[in-house]
Amino acid sequence: MFKYQDLLYTEKVAPTWYSPFTEYAMVLLSEVSNDVNLGKIEPEKAMEFSQQFISFTMALENQVFNGNKQFIRDFMNIMERNNIPPLPVQYDISDFLDEKNDKFKSVIEDWKDKTYRLIEENMTEEGTVPADREVLSGKDTAFVSGTNNEYETLLNSVDDLRKEFVELLHEHQLFFAKPRHDNLWIYCGEINDPNYPDTHQSIQTFVYDKEAWSHANFDRQYAKDTKFVLDDDEFVVSFKFFSKYDGEQGEATYDDGYANVHFDKNHMPIDMMTHFKDDDMMYNAFGKTFSIYQDTIGNHILTNQKTVDEAVKNVIAYTYKELGYNFIRTYMLLDVFTLLNTRSNVLPSGENVIVEKSNGSLNKKVKKRFASKYKKKIDNLEDFFIVKELIINPFLTRNSEQSGFKEGDTLNKLREHIRAGHYKVYTADKPRFGKPHKNNIGRFWYKPSTINKGSSKGVVLKDYKVGVE
């Protein structure tokens, strides 16, 4: 499992492109050595390049890896100032997401295809990609080339994907997807991809109201330009994606990016924002590499230049792919939150079909030691240290004949039940029973109806139906 404690106690967290960048570095050094053996590069020049390049990569690793512990402490302080709990409540939904869900599978494949098309459209010329020219200081190289206009075109493509994604959320009725807690850590399980073995994924989720969102700051200009403007009672659900490798080659933690979703006062999604994670830092790393190469070796084109170019494109493609995964992860979490917030007509007012269950309790000494270490009183330590289990509301299983659920039914079974029945969405403008009360606003599930029970003509079950009343 990948708990928040694992991130909290980790000093080094790298951007997702750093792993393929190290592979690129090995390819580059290997091809320089190959040309030395072929007599095309002077050994002294190759040695000077290698020494400077290795020193640079070591410094880069310290720059992009180190400092996570202090960053987390600072971020906790920011959360407190915005009245958001500094520590998250923790969920484990790995079994739930492991379900072979046709809807999830369809969304995953569709948005993977969209990402690959984005790569193909913007990395068509051999050895070139649309780099952010500002971070490359206007230098053209044999590896990365482009103009500001080309990078703007790429960002416009991202904007189109954002609009399409919000349309998907509306089409699938992912309303009332506000998390129950303003700070959540959600363990999603091991990544089901043979290219990423022994890698676990978790997502931290925040809820910002209008006041808290006004204090949210962004470093990148694109993020500043696209920051949401909230009206009263609107909110933002923010996701930070992390992965942790724990295998034969050791351990490594990665920051895979972020996404923000803007909801209106009726809990309907308005906009979604995500971006290429730290690609400015990545382009800077390439720019510095090329400068070292030209200063030591010159304009020599390597014998196997195509191999090096492919390694460059592979690094940049990682940032494109992660952008696509940001859409996929966001969809999956909003789908889960929508289900978590679903109510039922057979439940008492205010009750949800899924409830949280804590197993065990926290030792008082652990509480005291943790609070002392971080020099603050943290009220939700119990929630933080004990990962919550999500279960079907016991009331539904006790009244199985009325609800259709029985003891031992899993959350995956819950989804099947809900699909077999139907749900309705009631907003503040159009509440249930026409009465504007919080218990009459939200997403309500109605179990499958039986018409003419016992009739010789058979049983009629309602189809799955989604509607806004």
Share of the chain above pLDDT 70, in %: 80
Distance from CA of residue 229 to its chain's centroid? 22
Same-domain status, 190 and 215 = yes
Helix intervals (H) in 186-257: 210-214, 221-225
Same-domain status, 326 and 444 = no
CA distance 299 to 199: 40
Same-domain status, 417 and 273 = no
Contact 16/256 with Cβ under 8 angstroms?
yes
Flag whether pLDDT at 44 surpasses 90: yes
Domain end point (choices 278, 305, 340): 340
Q: What is the pLDDT of residue 272?
A: 96
Flag whether pLDDT at 258 surpasses 50: yes
> Mean pLDDT across the stretch 266-280?
91
Nearest to 222 by CA among 169, 182, 278: 278
Q: What is the pTM of this model?
A: 0.83
Which of 109-123, 177-191, 193-207, 397-411 is the least confident region? 397-411
Q: What is the pLDDT of residue 148?
A: 47
Other C-beta atoms lying within 10 Å of the C-beta of residue 325: 23
Contact 6/243 with Cβ under 8 angstroms?
no
Flag whether pLDDT at 48 surpasses 90: yes
CA distance 431 to 441: 5
CA distance 147 to 469: 50
> Mean pLDDT across the stretch 441-454?
58
Same-domain status, 300 and 189 = yes
Same-domain status, 219 and 316 = yes
**Greater pLDDT, 374 or 387:** 387
**pLDDT tens across 176-222, in order?**
899 989 999 999 998 877 777 889 999 999 999 999 999 998 888 88
Instruction: Say which residues have a Cβ less than 8 Å from residue 445's Cβ, sequence separation at least 6.
Output: 342, 343, 344, 345, 353, 417, 418, 421, 422, 423
Q: What is the pLDDT of residue 135?
A: 40
Flag whether pLDDT at 28 surpasses 90: yes
pLDDT band at 45 (very low <50, low <70, confident <90, very high): very high
Q: What is the pLDDT of residue 343?
A: 81
pLDDT band at 376 (very low <50, low <70, confident <90, very high): low
**Greater pLDDT, 102 or 276:** 276
Burial class (CB in 10 A: 0-12, 13-18, 19+), 462: middle
**pLDDT tens across 284-312, in order?**
898 899 899 999 999 899 999 889 988 98
CA distance 82 to 213: 9
Same-domain status, 329 and 357 = no
Q: What is the pLDDT of residue 66?
A: 87
Question: Is 371 a member of any domain?
Answer: no
pLDDT band at 149 (very low <50, low <70, confident <90, very high): low
**Greater pLDDT, 342 or 372:** 342
Q: What is the pLDDT of residue 418?
A: 66
Question: Is 415 a member of any domain?
Answer: yes
Question: Is 422 a member of any domain?
Answer: yes
Domain that holds residue 295: 4-340
- From residue 184, how far is each of 3, 146, 196 by CA, in Å? 11, 40, 25
Same-domain status, 304 and 348 = no
**Greater pLDDT, 166 or 352:** 166
φ, ψ for residue 273, nearest 5 deg: -130, 130
Same-domain status, 172 and 126 = yes
**pLDDT tens across 56-73, in order?**
999 998 888 888 999 998
Q: What is the pLDDT of residue 455?
A: 37
Contact 253/71 with Cβ under 8 angstroms?
no
> Tokens 């960048």 sit at which residue?
21
Q: What is the pLDDT of residue 141?
A: 40
Which of 35-39, 94-98, 124-128, 244-248 is the least confident region? 124-128
CA atoms within 13 A on the CB side of 79: 21
Question: Is 127 a member of any domain?
Answer: yes
Flag whether pLDDT at 456 surpasses 60: no
Same-domain status, 296 and 408 = no
Same-domain status, 355 and 275 = no
pLDDT band at 423 (very low <50, low <70, confident <90, very high): low
**pLDDT tens across 309-356, in order?**
889 888 988 888 899 999 999 999 998 898 888 887 777 777 888 888
Kind plus residue range of the DSSP H or E element containing 314? helix 305-340
Question: Is 386 a member of any domain?
Answer: no
Average pLDDT across the chain, whole number: 81
Which of 210-214, 259-263, 269-273, 417-421 is the least confident region? 417-421
Same-domain status, 348 and 206 = no
Instruction: Say which residues have a Cβ less than 8 Å from residue 71's Cβ, sequence separation at least 6.
Output: none
Question: Is 237 a member of any domain?
Answer: yes
Most confident of 15-24, 45-54, 376-385: 45-54
Domain count of the chain? 2
Question: Is 369 a member of any domain?
Answer: no
